[in-house]
A and B are shown apart, each in its own frame.
Chain A
């Protein structure tokens, strides 16, 4: 039972354009949603999070949107830069035990 889904295994975007990464979830028992970035041979690093009571959170080039009725969230990166090329994971935190449930990741490739 996959509670957090990232249906696009990869995404290719031109440098300078907007990257949109999507994530769907099935469980309503999450209180926070988080995005992480992972480079090869490194652990995931936290990017941005959003509370389940919000619909938008912005931090520099990164904006996360949450649509609770659709159980969908997205990460927007504007403008996309070559250093953004990495695997992006969506994670949801269960409020009952703080456990993070992870999506399978989307590999973002920024083309020069």
Chain B
């Protein structure tokens, strides 16, 4: 299994500012995923980050708003730019597990509140 940590665990930010969330994995992985979980809703995939290439964004998410870095096989960052209260969510990173179950391991999440 993979152990994933995220920083910060939570933050309260002002409208118009930006926050960078870090995701660290204890093993090398090819694909990392960034999700958002808005209050009372399911997880929504923001983008897939592969090392050495541009992140692939899902419909409704753009690089200018959610720039992602993937400098190596164990680390990624997601920036939430020019925040508004609608960005208040839990942001989660995950990696795909090896094996036949095809599941993903998740970090503990970053709880963001935008005022």
User: Chain A residues in contact with chain B, CB under 8 A?
Assistant: 4, 31-32, 34, 36, 41-46, 48-49, 89, 91, 93, 98-100, 102-105
Interface residues on B, range: 20 to 34
CB distance from A64 to the nearest CB of B (A): 11
CB < 8 Å neighbour of A34 from B41, B92, B103? B103
**Contact at A98–B42, with CB atoms within 8 Å?**
no
CB-based contact A45/B102 at 8 Å: no
15 A-B pairs in the complex with CB atoms less than 8 angstroms apart: A41-B109, A43-B92, A43-B106, A44-B92, A46-B97, A48-B101, A89-B42, A89-B43, A93-B102, A98-B96, A102-B42, A102-B43, A104-B40, A104-B41, A105-B42
Instruction: Rank and list the top 6 A-B pairs by shortest CB-CB distance, nearest first.
Output: A43-B106, A46-B103, A102-B42, A104-B42, A102-B43, A49-B101
**Closest B-chain residue to A6, C-beta based?**
B42
Which residues of A sit under 8 angstroms from B102, Cβ to Cβ? Answer: 31-32, 34, 49, 93, 98
